[in-house]
Amino acid sequence: MTLAWTATEMMTVVSARALSSSDVCFVGIGLPSAACNLARLTHAPGITLIYESGTIATKPRVLPLSIGDGELCDTALTTVSVPEMFRYWLQGGRITVGFLPGAQIDRFANLNTTVIGPYDRPTTRLPGSGGAPEIMTHCGEIFVTMKQGRRSFVDRLDFVTTFGHGEGGDHRARLGIRTKGPTRLITDLCVFEPDPETREMIVTAIHPGATRDEIRDATGWPVRFAASVAETAIPTETELETLRDLHARTRRAHGGGV
């Protein structure tokens, strides 16, 4: 029997599949945390998860409410200070994959988490950068996870908070950045990957039920599709059951609040 799935579950499963046991992963709260722990509980038991609070090789039984959740420290191999985690682990090049979201993203996977509208008179003021610029610069590669829509997938960012592929091409290399930058943009409709030459994010896989017209309509720039576009494999029963059990345990642990 094939189980039905939600758009969020599809995004989580696709993100998890991209991880391996050899990865050292800088985890975010929310969907990235669910994806990394789904990978750990299924096909990538050896994955090393690092949260921004400094917990190294943590194996949470339930999903944390925040990076300061005691569950992370309780199940970690060790906990280091935030400066040590950023300087030694992140800037030292020891993290292979990082997850980032954004309020806005452009075709070169630059991110805005600062303001919507003019900087001096914004319509919305957002949380800001946090550690995102350092994560984007120093992780081996970056997976961006975002729901797709014209308000967030824009032709031009209102503010560049986090440098992805800049103006495209070799822009990262010209600035002396040696890491790959964004290698996957995983949405509720499809998966984008950077064009090898231009570094523009192009569609390489479409989720079951989504169409090219839907993708175009939900994107604020002219979407390019790869020469060969795959159909995303549907979530397996094992993936869905493991993910749902993880969320159920989390709800019970936090009194139904997650």
Eight-state DSSP code of residue 162 = B
Helix (H, G, I), strand (E, B) or coil at 104: strand
CA-CA distances (angstroms) from residue 62 to 34, 37, 43, 59, 165? 9, 9, 18, 9, 34
DSSP lists the bridge partners of residue 168 as none
Q: How far apart are CA 176 and CA 105, in angstroms?
A: 22
What's the CA gap between 96 and 114, in Å, rounded?
Answer: 26
Active site residue 52: yes
Which amino acid is it at 229?
V
Are residues 111 and 164 in contact, defined by beta-carbon separation less than 8 angstroms? yes
Find where tokens 């590669």 sit.
141
Of the residues 52, 71, 200, 239, only one is catalytic, namely 52
User: What are the residues facing 192 on neighbouring strands?
Assistant: 185, 203
Length of the chain: 258
Residues tagged active-site: 52
